[in-house]
Structure formats: C-alpha cells, structure tokens
C-alpha cells in the first residue's frame, strides 16, 4: 500500500499526471470515486476544442502549443486518432474583447489566423449567418480532441508504465506528514511520499482537508447534439466559439453523423457535486438557450437529438490553479479549470509531474498561483 505518488482524481489532469509520473519511474496510484472516463467530471461528451490563438489571454498560448505537441505525441504512442484538424472559427463583434485577444495572441506568436467578415464566413460555411458587424478568426491548425479517448489513451500508457488505478474509491481523509501523506478511503489506507490532487468539482472538499479554503465554485452546464445536414459535416465545417449578444457559445461539427454539438459557456447553476444534479432538459434554459443561438446564427431548422450535462469548476478570475501547496511542497494541486481546461490537460499532467519530481516547471505557471486568492 506504499507508493511514491498518489493521484486523487483520474480524469483529465490526473490521468495525464499519472502517465508522466509513471513514465519518469515513479510508483503511482491513481484513485477515482467513479470509473473514468465518466459523466461526473468536465471531460465527458466525446469532444473538446483545442485553440491556439487564445481569446482568454496571451499567457495561455505557449501552453496551448505545448499541449498540441503532447497530444500529437500521444497519438503516435498509442496509434489512435485523438485530434481532428477541423480548424476553429472564433466569431464575434469587432468590439469583442475575446476576438481582440484572439487577434493579439495570433500576432504576438505569429500563429496562422485568417480574419473574415460576415459575408466571407457565410460564403465559406453557408450554415453560418452572422450580423454585419461580426468578424471571424479562423485557425486552420486548431481542431477537436476526442476527450474520452484521450483519457483512455493516457490510462493505457500509465498502466503500461506500472501505474495502479483504483476506481469507485472515495477519499475520506488526508493526513499530511513532513515526508509524505496518508490517504484513507472507505476500504483501505495508502501511503506515499507525494500527492497530486486533481479532483475537479470535489477539489474544494479535498483541499479543505489540507487547511486550504480556495474559492472554487462547481457549476452545472449542459450541451446537446442537433440533427445536421452536410453543411455541418466535420470534413468541411469547423469547430467554433461565438462571443454573442445572447451569450458565449461553443460547438462542434457533426462527426461521423453524431450531429451538430452545441453548448453555452457562460451562465449555469451553482451546485453541490454530491447532490443529485438535474439532467438535461429538466430546466427550460437547457434547450432554450441552444435553440435561441441556432435560430440566430445557424438558422437551418435543426432538431435536437439528445443532451447531456457536465460540471465546470470555476475560479473567480476563470484562470486555473496549478501549484504546490503553500506549506507542503510534496503536494501538487490542479483545480479550477473554469470550462476551458481540457485542451491543456496533456501539458498540465507533465507540469504536475515536474512539480512533484523537481519542485518546478519549465513552463510559466505564475498565472495559476494558488496564493493569488490570499
């Protein structure tokens, strides 16, 4: 029951961390309350967008590019297609802060970006209809990650390097020592020299066991698939993010006849992840928000096929937490990914491994300091 490192949470960040730690020779245990990939986190729903010219801030661009390289590496190591090069269209008013930051990121890092007016967008993708004052920024090198397959791929590699994964096992107690940790579940007790916490919406509860009161807010989010004609096929239609007057939306082309996938990024309802969470369609806005967007921006009369929900875990500034514990350098924390973290989970896993092994990362993670909330 003794390990070099225990990782609590075997989802997006945790599974990646488990791979990089085990690859670097550490004896690793991953614990998860469910069976990943699962619908209790922020990774399910088949797909996630990866963007490089980052509207959330230039500080993310280097990490996005490193993440893309690591996803490409993962494809080669597992011989699986995990990335679809659909391109990504970022659209919004010319006055949109998000759009301005996309352009600024592209300029600073010399990224390929094609700026199109609303007419040019409609000519290229007839399924999109934008107001005259909107522009689009098309990233041809970005695209779609198969999120659940990515987690399975990292699990495969982690286990091939000797990592042990225990599922359906909820952590009840964490005891920290100067040279290690003791982790207690309902059934067992485990010991390790180091600990990684990457538990999504359950991070506040676990961090409280370490005397950390971090402002993390779990939010219920929904998304759905709609019937789609050939205009929205992934071979000729991009993934997209739209910053609009009726909200911020993201979506995916129809992949292998799955349908046009659409979600709303802003809004949502605060929840306790331990409580029963309303399923898709139980709230009027679940379908209403998405239909409102489609009627305005993709008005081809798509009918809903089905919907799902997931959980965002938000920080006040919507930037991540990736750091070591202020008092225990042998504990690394990854939390608060605020609905835009999955694309980075490859590099975050590598960073967590580096923090445990050497206490530092070659990547700039100053933006993600846990101490910024003090």
User: For the chain, what are the domain ranges?
Assistant: 2-43+148-214+317-373, 85-144+217-314
- What pLDDT does residue 239 have? 98
**Could you give the residue numbers annotated as active site?**
44, 47-48, 261, 265, 310, 343
DSSP letter, residue 168: S
Residue carrying structure tokens 């309350």: 33
Q: Are 206 and 263 in contact (CB under 8 A)?
A: no
Query: 85-144+217-314 domain in CATH 3.40.50.1100?
Result: no
The architecture CATH gives domain 2-43+148-214+317-373: 3-Layer(bba) Sandwich (3.50)
- What pLDDT does residue 374 have? 83
- What pLDDT does residue 41 have? 82
- What pLDDT does residue 301 have? 66
- What pLDDT does residue 31 have? 98
- What pLDDT does residue 302 have? 79
Helix, strand, coil shares, percent, the chain, to 5: 30, 30, 40
- What pLDDT does residue 40 have? 84
Q: Is-same-fold flag (2-43+148-214+317-373; 85-144+217-314)?
A: no
Residues of the chain with pLDDT under 70: 301
């Amino acid at each position: 029951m003794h390990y070099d490192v225990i990782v609590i949470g075997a989802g997006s960040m945790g599974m990646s961390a488990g791979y990089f730690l085990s690859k670097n020779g550490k004896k690793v245990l991953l614990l998860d309350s469910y069976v990943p990939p699962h619908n209790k986190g922020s990774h399910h729903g088949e797909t996630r967008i990866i963007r490089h010219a980052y509207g959330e801030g230039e500080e993310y661009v280097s990490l996005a590019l490193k993440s893309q390289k690591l996803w490409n590496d993962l494809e080669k190591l597992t011989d699986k297609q995990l990335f679809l090069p659909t391109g990504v269209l970022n659209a919004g008013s010319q006055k949109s802060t998000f759009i301005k930051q996309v352009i600024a990121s592209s300029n600073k890092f010399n990224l390929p970006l094609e700026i199109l007016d609303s007419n040019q967008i409609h000519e290229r993708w007839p399924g999109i209809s934008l107001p005259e004052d909107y522009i689009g920024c098309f990233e041809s090198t970005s695209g779609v990650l198969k999120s659940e397959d990515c987690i399975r791929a990292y699990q495969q590699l982690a286990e091939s390097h000797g990592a042990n994964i225990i599922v359906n096992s909820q952590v009840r107690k964490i005891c920290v020592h100067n040279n290690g940790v003791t982790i207690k579940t309902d059934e067992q007790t485990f010991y390790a020299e180091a600990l990684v916490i990457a538990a999504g919406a359950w991070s506040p509860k676990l961090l409280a066991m370490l005397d950390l009161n971090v402002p993390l807010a779990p939010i219920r989010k929904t998304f759905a698939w709609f019937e789609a004609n050939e205009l929205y096929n992934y071979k000729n239609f991009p993934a997209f993010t739209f910053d609009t007057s009726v909200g911020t939306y993201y979506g995916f082309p129809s992949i292998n006849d799955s349908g046009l996938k659409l979600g709303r990024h802003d809004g949502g309802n605060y929840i306790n992840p331990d409580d029963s969470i309303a399923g898709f369609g139980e709230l009027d806005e679940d379908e209403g928000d998405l239909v409102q967007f489609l009627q305005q921006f993709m008005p081809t009369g798509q009918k809903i096929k089905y919907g799902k929900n997931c959980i965002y875990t938000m920080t006040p500034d919507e930037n991540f937490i990736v750091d070591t514990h202020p008092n225990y350098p042998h504990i690394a924390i990854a939390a608060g990914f605020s609905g835009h973290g999955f694309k980075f989970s490859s590099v975050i896993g590598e960073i967590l491994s580096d923090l445990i092994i050497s206490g530092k990362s070659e990547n700039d993670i100053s933006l993600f300091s846990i101490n910024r909330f003090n």
